[in-house]
Structure 1
């Protein structure tokens, strides 16, 4: 008689897809921003097709502000790389430069608005001007929220809460800042193409 051994097959527990709750909230927030701007750009195209559209040249300062924002993205990435290497001094410098460039971007946007007013392009009046102010204003508001996120990361860097083994805060910061930069490039190209 053969001994038949029974083997007990144990099922391994299935891995669940786990995501950091803060990162999940960030991605939900980013999707809501995408939906907001998608609806606004769609409304822009529909209204533009109806006619009575004032065409104007975008002030040059918006080109320069785009460059400033792109450089700020490079600095934000630098901050992330320094956090991964525990280079705290460079981390603080990179966050500081990003913050200053974010403020410079907002100042340049405001100067751009002043140039638009000098060109008789107002918030109230022709819809083309209204949309331009709404797009740049909404984006500027999100840049302000990004500056608050940067400020918290900067403070956390002094408290040693950001380091190679705890990158969550800087990852959220980097993701949000890069997103805002990509969003601005999209809006900038959109306004150049369809104005």
Structure 2
């Protein structure tokens, strides 16, 4: 998480599009830095994807044991998925607003994305609470353990993104629509789209009982 937050702070929120324009002789250097920041994000996403793949591989191996027993499916997972999808759409709207130079729309989009993402995390915590109250603990059920593992790791990635989002929202009012500012918004949006894509894969693992892969059964909780 330190790597996640540090990288986002360095390449997104520390970009100051509201500041004075760089001197002319510094322009070539800035042009070289922009692709490097974007490439750095994709390298990070590749590393994060490898982490999730390792967890999914461990889950696939554990699934073959005879004592595997799915847990009930929390109804709230559907709503949480909708919230995160809406947050991703809001980030896409932020990119369009940044390219138009519409600072008011950009700020509204960032605010909406942050509120929706925070609601997603709150919903995940409610799901945990429901499972805990139903006596589904990680130490008692392998399915519950993987449920907590997948949602916790994904939630930490979401929380790391919210740190960068908060700083970006705070400073968005002083933005001037420079190329660096647009890049910062685009990087944040890319990260949010990634969070949604990962969650959709995890959600499929949680509920795809027809394929014999589900952590959760069709029995609602």
**Structure 1 or 2: larger helix share?**
2
CA RMSD of aligned residues (A): 1.7
Structure 2 counterparts to residues 1-195 of structure 1, below 5 A? 20-160=35-175, 163=177, 165-166=179-180, 167-193=182-208, 194=213, 195=215
Segments of 4+ moved more than 4 angstroms: none
Structure 1 distance, partners of 2:117, 2:190, is 15
Bigger Cα Rg: 1
The TM-score normalised by the length of structure 2 is: 0.76
Q: How many residues align?
A: 178
Q: Check the 8 A contact 2:34/2:183 in 1, yes or no.
A: no
Structure 2 distance, partners of 1:141, 1:165, is 30
Structure 1 distance, partners of 2:174, 2:163, is 17
Structure 2 distance, partners of 1:27, 1:145, is 16
Task: For residue 36 of structure 1, report the CA deviation from its aligned partner.
Answer: 0.6
Task: For residue 80 of structure 1, report the CA deviation from its aligned partner.
Answer: 0.8
* Unaligned ranges ≥5, structure 1: 1-16
The TM-score normalised by the length of structure 1 is: 0.86
Question: Alpha carbons of 1:76 and 1:131: their partners in 2 closer, same or farther (altered >3 Å)?
Answer: same
Q: Check the 8 A contact 1:68/1:105 in 2, yes or no.
A: yes
The one of the two structures with greater contact order (alpha-carbon pairs below 8 A, sep at least 6) is 2
* Unaligned ranges ≥5, structure 2: 1-31, 216-221
Secondary structure in 2 matching 1:20: helix
